[in-house]
Copies of this chain bind each other. A is one copy, B any other.
Amino acid sequence: MKSRFAVGVDLGATTVKTGLVSDTGKILYQNKLPANGNLGPPAVINQIEASVRDVLTHANRKRPAGIGIGAPGVVDDSGTVKAPPNMAGWDVVPLKKRMKRIFPSQRIEIENDANAAAIAESKFGAGKKYPNFLFVIWGTGVGGGIILNNKIYRGPWGGAGEIGHISIDYNGPECNCGSRGCVEAYVGQRYLSQRTIERLKSRPDSKISELIGGDTSKLEPEIISQAAQQGDLLAKQMLSEAGTLLGVALAGVMNVMDLRVSIIGGGISAAGAFVIDAIQQSVQAHVLKPLRPDIRVMQAKLGNNAGILGAAGLVL
Protein backbone atom coordinates (compact mmCIF):
# COMPACT_ATOMS: atom_id res chain seq x y z
CA MET A 1 0.00 0.00 0.00
CA LYS A 2 1.23 3.46 -0.85
CA SER A 3 2.17 5.41 2.25
CA ARG A 4 0.15 8.49 2.96
CA PHE A 5 2.98 10.24 4.81
CA ALA A 6 6.39 11.61 3.96
CA VAL A 7 9.26 13.45 5.59
CA GLY A 8 10.01 16.87 4.13
CA VAL A 9 13.28 18.70 4.85
CA ASP A 10 13.62 22.43 4.18
CA LEU A 11 17.36 23.07 4.21
CA GLY A 12 18.70 26.62 4.41
CA ALA A 13 22.10 28.07 5.27
CA THR A 14 20.96 28.98 8.80
CA THR A 15 18.20 26.50 9.72
CA VAL A 16 16.99 23.07 8.77
CA LYS A 17 13.26 22.53 9.22
CA THR A 18 11.78 19.07 8.91
CA GLY A 19 8.17 17.93 9.00
CA LEU A 20 5.98 14.85 8.81
CA VAL A 21 3.52 15.61 6.03
CA SER A 22 0.31 13.85 5.02
CA ASP A 23 -0.60 13.37 1.37
CA THR A 24 -3.25 16.07 1.76
CA GLY A 25 -0.54 18.58 2.68
CA LYS A 26 -1.01 18.66 6.45
CA ILE A 27 2.11 19.05 8.57
CA LEU A 28 1.51 16.61 11.44
CA TYR A 29 4.72 17.39 13.28
CA GLN A 30 7.71 19.63 12.65
CA ASN A 31 11.00 20.70 14.18
CA LYS A 32 13.68 23.29 13.51
CA LEU A 33 17.45 23.04 14.11
CA PRO A 34 20.41 25.26 13.28
CA ALA A 35 21.83 24.13 9.92
CA ASN A 36 25.44 25.03 10.78
CA GLY A 37 25.95 26.10 7.17
CA ASN A 38 29.18 27.84 8.20
CA LEU A 39 30.77 24.60 9.50
CA GLY A 40 30.98 22.63 6.25
CA PRO A 41 28.99 19.77 4.68
CA PRO A 42 29.51 17.03 7.33
CA ALA A 43 28.16 19.34 10.06
CA VAL A 44 25.14 20.23 7.94
CA ILE A 45 24.46 16.58 7.11
CA ASN A 46 24.62 15.75 10.83
CA GLN A 47 21.94 18.32 11.51
CA ILE A 48 19.74 16.98 8.69
CA GLU A 49 20.13 13.47 10.13
CA ALA A 50 19.22 14.61 13.66
CA SER A 51 16.24 16.53 12.36
CA VAL A 52 14.95 13.60 10.28
CA ARG A 53 15.48 11.05 13.09
CA ASP A 54 13.46 13.25 15.43
CA VAL A 55 10.60 13.39 12.93
CA LEU A 56 10.73 9.62 12.38
CA THR A 57 10.31 9.01 16.12
CA HIS A 58 7.11 11.05 15.86
CA ALA A 59 5.77 9.06 12.92
CA ASN A 60 3.86 6.65 15.21
CA ARG A 61 5.45 3.65 13.50
CA LYS A 62 3.88 4.67 10.19
CA ARG A 63 6.38 4.00 7.47
CA PRO A 64 6.83 7.15 5.38
CA ALA A 65 6.92 7.06 1.57
CA GLY A 66 10.39 8.54 1.79
CA ILE A 67 12.43 11.63 2.62
CA GLY A 68 12.37 14.69 0.38
CA ILE A 69 14.86 17.52 0.73
CA GLY A 70 14.65 21.05 -0.64
CA ALA A 71 18.16 22.53 -0.82
CA PRO A 72 19.61 25.87 -1.93
CA GLY A 73 21.87 25.92 -5.02
CA VAL A 74 21.64 23.91 -8.20
CA VAL A 75 20.52 20.29 -7.73
CA ASP A 76 21.29 17.94 -10.60
CA ASP A 77 19.47 14.77 -11.63
CA SER A 78 21.66 12.58 -9.43
CA GLY A 79 20.78 14.59 -6.31
CA THR A 80 24.11 16.41 -6.13
CA VAL A 81 23.91 19.91 -4.64
CA LYS A 82 26.19 22.50 -6.22
CA ALA A 83 27.33 25.87 -4.84
CA PRO A 84 24.50 26.73 -2.46
CA PRO A 85 24.95 30.42 -1.49
CA ASN A 86 26.20 31.15 2.06
CA MET A 87 27.21 27.58 2.85
CA ALA A 88 30.90 27.16 3.63
CA GLY A 89 33.03 24.54 1.88
CA TRP A 90 30.10 23.35 -0.16
CA ASP A 91 31.13 23.26 -3.78
CA VAL A 92 29.72 19.95 -5.01
CA VAL A 93 28.14 17.53 -2.51
CA PRO A 94 26.38 14.28 -3.51
CA LEU A 95 23.71 14.83 -0.86
CA LYS A 96 21.35 12.12 -2.10
CA LYS A 97 24.09 9.49 -1.90
CA ARG A 98 25.08 10.64 1.59
CA MET A 99 21.50 10.55 2.83
CA LYS A 100 20.97 7.12 1.28
CA ARG A 101 23.94 5.85 3.31
CA ILE A 102 22.35 7.18 6.50
CA PHE A 103 18.80 6.03 5.69
CA PRO A 104 19.34 3.01 3.40
CA SER A 105 15.75 1.78 3.56
CA GLN A 106 14.20 5.13 2.64
CA ARG A 107 13.49 6.59 -0.77
CA ILE A 108 15.40 9.90 -0.97
CA GLU A 109 14.66 12.77 -3.38
CA ILE A 110 16.39 16.14 -3.52
CA GLU A 111 15.30 19.29 -5.29
CA ASN A 112 16.28 22.94 -5.44
CA ASP A 113 14.39 24.95 -2.77
CA ALA A 114 12.57 27.29 -5.16
CA ASN A 115 11.47 24.27 -7.20
CA ALA A 116 10.33 22.54 -4.00
CA ALA A 117 8.20 25.58 -3.08
CA ALA A 118 6.72 25.56 -6.61
CA ILE A 119 5.86 21.87 -6.17
CA ALA A 120 4.23 22.66 -2.82
CA GLU A 121 1.98 25.31 -4.37
CA SER A 122 1.17 22.90 -7.19
CA LYS A 123 0.22 19.97 -4.95
CA PHE A 124 -1.23 21.72 -1.92
CA GLY A 125 -1.50 25.48 -2.50
CA ALA A 126 -2.59 28.20 -4.90
CA GLY A 127 -1.65 26.11 -7.94
CA LYS A 128 -3.78 23.04 -7.23
CA LYS A 129 -6.19 23.90 -10.05
CA TYR A 130 -3.49 24.91 -12.54
CA PRO A 131 -1.42 22.26 -14.34
CA ASN A 132 0.90 24.93 -15.79
CA PHE A 133 2.22 28.00 -14.00
CA LEU A 134 5.21 30.17 -13.29
CA PHE A 135 6.07 30.31 -9.59
CA VAL A 136 8.01 33.32 -8.30
CA ILE A 137 9.78 33.86 -4.99
CA TRP A 138 10.15 37.57 -4.43
CA GLY A 139 12.22 38.40 -1.36
CA THR A 140 15.93 39.02 -0.96
CA GLY A 141 16.29 38.14 -4.62
CA VAL A 142 13.92 36.95 -7.30
CA GLY A 143 13.78 33.22 -7.99
CA GLY A 144 11.26 30.82 -9.33
CA GLY A 145 10.12 27.47 -10.58
CA ILE A 146 8.13 26.36 -13.58
CA ILE A 147 5.31 23.83 -13.32
CA LEU A 148 4.37 22.10 -16.57
CA ASN A 149 1.73 19.39 -16.63
CA ASN A 150 1.73 19.32 -12.82
CA LYS A 151 5.45 18.56 -12.74
CA ILE A 152 8.48 20.72 -12.13
CA TYR A 153 10.42 21.72 -15.25
CA ARG A 154 14.04 21.36 -14.14
CA GLY A 155 15.77 22.03 -17.45
CA PRO A 156 18.50 19.85 -18.93
CA TRP A 157 20.96 20.66 -16.10
CA GLY A 158 18.54 21.24 -13.23
CA GLY A 159 19.00 25.02 -13.28
CA ALA A 160 15.67 26.20 -14.73
CA GLY A 161 13.51 28.91 -13.16
CA GLU A 162 16.10 31.71 -12.82
CA ILE A 163 13.64 34.46 -13.60
CA GLY A 164 15.51 37.07 -11.55
CA HIS A 165 18.13 37.45 -14.23
CA ILE A 166 15.95 38.42 -17.15
CA SER A 167 17.08 41.86 -18.29
CA ILE A 168 14.28 44.41 -18.51
CA ASP A 169 16.68 47.13 -19.66
CA TYR A 170 19.80 46.30 -21.61
CA ASN A 171 21.21 49.68 -20.57
CA GLY A 172 20.10 49.26 -16.97
CA PRO A 173 22.10 49.04 -13.73
CA GLU A 174 24.74 46.37 -13.37
CA CYS A 175 23.62 43.22 -11.56
CA ASN A 176 25.67 40.94 -9.29
CA CYS A 177 25.44 38.32 -12.01
CA GLY A 178 27.50 40.40 -14.44
CA SER A 179 24.61 41.30 -16.74
CA ARG A 180 22.71 44.60 -16.89
CA GLY A 181 19.17 45.57 -16.00
CA CYS A 182 18.19 42.20 -14.53
CA VAL A 183 14.77 42.44 -12.91
CA GLU A 184 16.38 41.42 -9.60
CA ALA A 185 18.52 44.58 -9.87
CA TYR A 186 15.28 46.59 -9.70
CA VAL A 187 13.06 44.68 -7.32
CA GLY A 188 15.41 42.58 -5.16
CA GLN A 189 15.80 43.58 -1.50
CA ARG A 190 18.98 45.66 -1.77
CA TYR A 191 17.97 47.63 -4.84
CA LEU A 192 14.43 48.24 -3.68
CA SER A 193 15.75 49.56 -0.35
CA GLN A 194 18.28 51.80 -2.06
CA ARG A 195 15.70 53.34 -4.34
CA THR A 196 13.33 53.88 -1.43
CA ILE A 197 16.07 55.67 0.55
CA GLU A 198 16.57 57.96 -2.46
CA ARG A 199 12.89 58.80 -2.59
CA LEU A 200 12.59 59.29 1.18
CA LYS A 201 14.75 62.40 0.87
CA SER A 202 11.90 64.26 -0.78
CA ARG A 203 9.19 62.51 1.24
CA PRO A 204 10.24 62.93 4.89
CA ASP A 205 6.59 62.62 6.00
CA SER A 206 6.44 58.97 4.88
CA LYS A 207 5.58 56.41 7.56
CA ILE A 208 8.70 54.56 6.48
CA SER A 209 10.92 57.22 8.13
CA GLU A 210 8.96 56.76 11.35
CA LEU A 211 9.27 52.97 11.26
CA ILE A 212 13.05 53.07 10.82
CA GLY A 213 13.44 55.92 13.33
CA GLY A 214 15.26 57.92 10.69
CA ASP A 215 18.02 55.26 10.38
CA THR A 216 18.08 54.27 6.71
CA SER A 217 20.39 51.33 7.44
CA LYS A 218 17.34 49.67 9.02
CA LEU A 219 15.32 49.85 5.83
CA GLU A 220 14.30 46.55 4.29
CA PRO A 221 11.37 45.43 2.17
CA GLU A 222 9.61 44.08 5.28
CA ILE A 223 9.44 47.68 6.58
CA ILE A 224 8.19 49.03 3.26
CA SER A 225 5.59 46.29 3.29
CA GLN A 226 4.53 47.22 6.86
CA ALA A 227 4.26 50.90 5.95
CA ALA A 228 2.19 50.01 2.88
CA GLN A 229 -0.18 47.96 5.02
CA GLN A 230 -0.61 51.04 7.21
CA GLY A 231 -1.60 53.01 4.14
CA ASP A 232 1.64 54.88 3.50
CA LEU A 233 1.58 56.31 -0.02
CA LEU A 234 5.31 56.22 -0.76
CA ALA A 235 5.53 52.61 0.39
CA LYS A 236 2.60 51.61 -1.80
CA GLN A 237 4.09 53.49 -4.71
CA MET A 238 7.50 51.80 -4.34
CA LEU A 239 5.96 48.32 -4.19
CA SER A 240 3.53 48.97 -7.04
CA GLU A 241 6.34 50.21 -9.22
CA ALA A 242 8.41 47.16 -8.33
CA GLY A 243 5.43 44.92 -9.09
CA THR A 244 5.05 46.59 -12.48
CA LEU A 245 8.72 45.97 -13.30
CA LEU A 246 8.52 42.36 -12.13
CA GLY A 247 5.48 41.96 -14.41
CA VAL A 248 7.56 42.98 -17.46
CA ALA A 249 9.95 40.08 -16.86
CA LEU A 250 7.14 37.60 -16.13
CA ALA A 251 5.33 38.62 -19.33
CA GLY A 252 8.40 37.71 -21.41
CA VAL A 253 8.57 34.25 -19.85
CA MET A 254 4.84 33.71 -20.19
CA ASN A 255 4.98 34.65 -23.90
CA VAL A 256 7.87 32.30 -24.60
CA MET A 257 6.55 29.36 -22.60
CA ASP A 258 2.86 29.96 -23.37
CA LEU A 259 1.90 30.22 -19.70
CA ARG A 260 -1.17 32.05 -18.38
CA VAL A 261 -0.82 31.76 -14.61
CA SER A 262 1.78 33.08 -12.20
CA ILE A 263 1.87 32.46 -8.45
CA ILE A 264 3.88 34.90 -6.35
CA GLY A 265 5.48 33.86 -3.05
CA GLY A 266 8.23 35.25 -0.86
CA GLY A 267 8.28 38.05 1.71
CA ILE A 268 7.43 41.04 -0.45
CA SER A 269 4.44 39.39 -2.11
CA ALA A 270 2.66 39.43 1.26
CA ALA A 271 2.55 43.25 1.39
CA GLY A 272 -1.03 43.34 0.20
CA ALA A 273 -3.38 42.67 -2.69
CA PHE A 274 -2.27 45.88 -4.42
CA VAL A 275 1.16 44.37 -5.13
CA ILE A 276 -0.36 41.31 -6.77
CA ASP A 277 -2.72 43.63 -8.68
CA ALA A 278 0.22 45.69 -9.93
CA ILE A 279 1.97 42.56 -11.20
CA GLN A 280 -1.23 41.27 -12.82
CA GLN A 281 -1.85 44.56 -14.63
CA SER A 282 1.72 44.75 -15.83
CA VAL A 283 1.76 41.17 -17.11
CA GLN A 284 -1.52 41.78 -18.90
CA ALA A 285 -0.19 44.95 -20.54
CA HIS A 286 3.01 43.23 -21.72
CA VAL A 287 1.97 39.77 -22.94
CA LEU A 288 0.69 39.09 -26.43
CA LYS A 289 -2.98 39.96 -26.91
CA PRO A 290 -4.37 36.39 -27.22
CA LEU A 291 -3.01 35.60 -23.75
CA ARG A 292 -4.39 38.67 -21.97
CA PRO A 293 -7.92 37.55 -21.06
CA ASP A 294 -6.57 34.43 -19.34
CA ILE A 295 -3.74 35.96 -17.34
CA ARG A 296 -4.01 35.19 -13.62
CA VAL A 297 -1.46 36.43 -11.13
CA MET A 298 -2.11 35.31 -7.57
CA GLN A 299 -0.48 35.14 -4.20
CA ALA A 300 1.11 31.91 -2.98
CA LYS A 301 -0.81 30.22 -0.17
CA LEU A 302 1.69 28.23 1.83
CA GLY A 303 4.08 30.88 3.12
CA ASN A 304 6.97 29.56 5.20
CA ASN A 305 5.64 26.00 5.08
CA ALA A 306 6.13 25.72 1.32
CA GLY A 307 9.67 24.37 1.81
CA ILE A 308 8.69 21.42 4.02
CA LEU A 309 5.54 20.68 2.02
CA GLY A 310 7.29 20.77 -1.35
CA ALA A 311 10.13 18.58 -0.09
CA ALA A 312 7.63 16.01 1.17
CA GLY A 313 5.80 16.36 -2.16
CA LEU A 314 8.90 15.00 -3.91
CA VAL A 315 8.19 11.53 -2.55
CA LEU A 316 4.41 11.65 -2.14
Q: How far is the CB of A21 from chain B (nearest CB, A)?
A: 28
**Do the beta carbons of B256 and A253 come within 8 Å of each other?**
yes
Q: Which of chain A's residues 269-285 have a Cβ closer than 8 Å to chain B?
A: 285
**Do the beta carbons of B258 and A165 come within 8 Å of each other?**
no
Partner of A155, one of B74, B162, B169, B257: B257
Residues of B within 8 A of A251 (CB): 167, 179
Q: How far is the CB of A147 from chain B (nearest CB, A)?
A: 11
Given contacts A161-B256, A178-B289, contact A248 B155 (CB under 8 A): no
Report the separation of the CA atoms of residues A258 and B253 in the bound assembly, to the nearest whole angstrom: 13
Nearest chain B residue, comparing its CB with the CB of A158: B258
From A157, A170, A257, A289, residue with most partner B Cβ within 10 Å? A170
Report the separation of the CA atoms of residues A249 and B260 in the bound assembly, to the nearest whole angstrom: 20
From A153, A154, A178, A255, residue with most partner B Cβ within 10 Å? A255
Nearest chain B residue, comparing its CB with the CB of A82: B290
A288 beta carbon closer than 8 Å to chain B: yes
A263 beta carbon closer than 8 Å to chain B: no
Q: How far is the CB of A127 from chain B (nearest CB, A)?
A: 13
Report the separation of the CA atoms of residues A70 and B143 in the bound assembly, to the nearest whole angstrom: 36
**Do the beta carbons of B258 and A288 come within 8 Å of each other?**
no
A303 beta carbon closer than 8 Å to chain B: no
A259 beta carbon closer than 8 Å to chain B: yes
Given contacts A159-B290, A179-B285, contact A169 B166 (CB under 8 A): no
Count of residues in A whose CB is under 8 Å from the partner chain: 49
Residues of B within 8 A of A170 (CB): 168-169, 245, 248
A132 beta carbon closer than 8 Å to chain B: yes
**Do the beta carbons of A166 and B131 come within 8 Å of each other?**
no
Nearest chain B residue, comparing its CB with the CB of A261: B156
Q: Which of chain A's residues 222-265 have a Cβ closer than 8 Å to chain B?
A: 245, 248-249, 251-253, 255-260
30 example contacts (A-B, Cβ-Cβ < 8 A) are as follows A74-B290, A131-B156, A144-B256, A154-B258, A155-B259, A156-B260, A157-B260, A158-B258, A159-B258, A159-B288, A159-B290, A160-B258, A161-B256, A161-B258, A162-B255, A162-B258, A166-B252, A167-B286, A168-B168, A169-B171, A170-B248, A177-B288, A178-B285, A178-B289, A179-B286, A252-B252, A253-B253, A253-B256, A256-B256, A256-B257
20 additional A-B pairs beyond A155-B258, A160-B257, beta carbons within 8 Å, are A132-B156, A146-B256, A146-B257, A155-B257, A156-B258, A156-B259, A159-B290, A160-B258, A162-B256, A162-B258, A165-B288, A166-B166, A167-B168, A169-B170, A169-B171, A169-B181, A177-B289, A179-B287, A180-B286, A256-B256
